[in-house]
Homo-oligomer: A and B are copies of this chain.
Amino acid sequence: MSRISPVILCGGSGTRLWPRSRAICPKPFLPLVGESTLFEATVGRASDPAVFAAPIVVTGAAHLDHVEAQVGDDPEARIIVEPAARNTAAAIAAAALSLPGDAVMLVCPSDHYIADGAAFVTAARAAARLAGAGAVGEGWLVAFGIAATAPETGFGYVKAGEAIGEDGFRVARFVEKPDLERALQFLAEGTYSWNGGIFAFRAGDFLAELALHRPAIAERARAAMAGMRTEGRRIYPDAAAFTAIPSESVDYAVMENTKRAAVVPASMGWSDIGNWQALHAAREPDADGNVVAGVGGARAELVDCQNVMVESDGPRVSVIGLRDVIVVVDGDEVMVTHAEGVQKVGKLTGAANQ
């Protein structure tokens, strides 16, 4: 099997981990779990040269410095610099157009955490086998199905249908964010998993399906890449053409429409680190469930606290008598929230007006 080409998406900035994650240095580029940033970990997970080719990173000019500082020194890595954010269908199309048609792409968001890197590689290989089955134009478009561990209402779900050999299943259907009742049903039912936004397909298969279901995106992406210029490892698509691409997610544009959608199960300690509570859960707590983290080893003193997370970029944080609370100190911002309030962080004035 030829090597898999990781396509790493570094998109929007997000506000849900404010004030630590900010527009100028968003979530993928912060060392949130352990010593590596989420972006570095994403690159690292797909770096075994026996399995993976050099990565293609798709990002915006605003994050280019972070990407180049953290992507490593592989001379074959490529960085596609989007002239404007046009969602994931456009980003993946640009990457597909810079690869041979029979290359298997593995699309990876750069802001997720995966505890079990070996399980990730195993799932990637299974996905690549499905993606590579048949002639170009006949391979599977494969979604990773993240083993659901809770009735999450913030994720999309994918229902597995009939098995395709030993590697995966046909997709019976994709389901957008369900309400709690349905999420509980999905969890009980057993054939639903989370759609983690990780996909494998051949470049040619993706482009064929895109042309079929979203010809405008396919056509303008092709124009943008036809007019590209390169600068070292950087690829600059033509700005006017790229900006004209309709903005749509790969899920809506392709995965939910293609007849060749498959899913491979992946149980790999995945988290989207979608809010402060999720980050707390991904970190190693002490015996009381408390976590202290931050740049250069944060100083904190927790007295009579349970399930408290402190994150500081410098100041000492002293906490007394709290439970299920998150305290974040970053520059000129201090944020304190109950664990149940984490969904409102992104709507804080400071987060919304960056």
Contact = CB atoms under 8 A, between A and B. Distances in A.
B334 A320 contact: no
Contacts of A317: 334-336
Contacts of A342: 320
Copies of this chain per assembly: 2
Contacts of A350: 301, 316, 318
Contacts of A338: 320-322
A319 interface: yes
A327 B336 contact: yes
Interface string A311-335: 0101111111110010101011111
Nearest to A302: B336
Contact of A337 (B320, B333, B337, B344): B320
Contacts of A347: 303
Given A318-B349, A350-B316, A303 B344 contact: yes
A16 to B, nearest CB: 12
A345 B318 CA distance: 9
A303 B334 contact: no
Contacts of A325: 322, 336
A304 B344 CA distance: 10
A101 to B, nearest CB: 49
B318 A329 contact: no
A341 interface: yes
Contact of A334 (B315, B337, B340): B315
A119 interface: no
Interface in A90-147: none
A348 interface: yes
A318 B349 CA distance: 8
B348 A336 contact: no
A203 B288 CA distance: 57
A329 B315 CA distance: 9
Nearest to A301: B349
A304 B341 contact: yes
Contact of A320 (B301, B321, B333, B341): B341
Nearest to A336: B319
19 contacts: A301-B350, A304-B344, A315-B331, A315-B333, A317-B335, A318-B333, A318-B336, A318-B337, A319-B335, A319-B337, A320-B336, A320-B337, A320-B341, A321-B337, A321-B338, A321-B344, A322-B325, A327-B334, A329-B334
Q: Which 4 A-B pairs have the closest CB atoms?
A: A321-B341, A320-B341, A321-B338, A320-B337
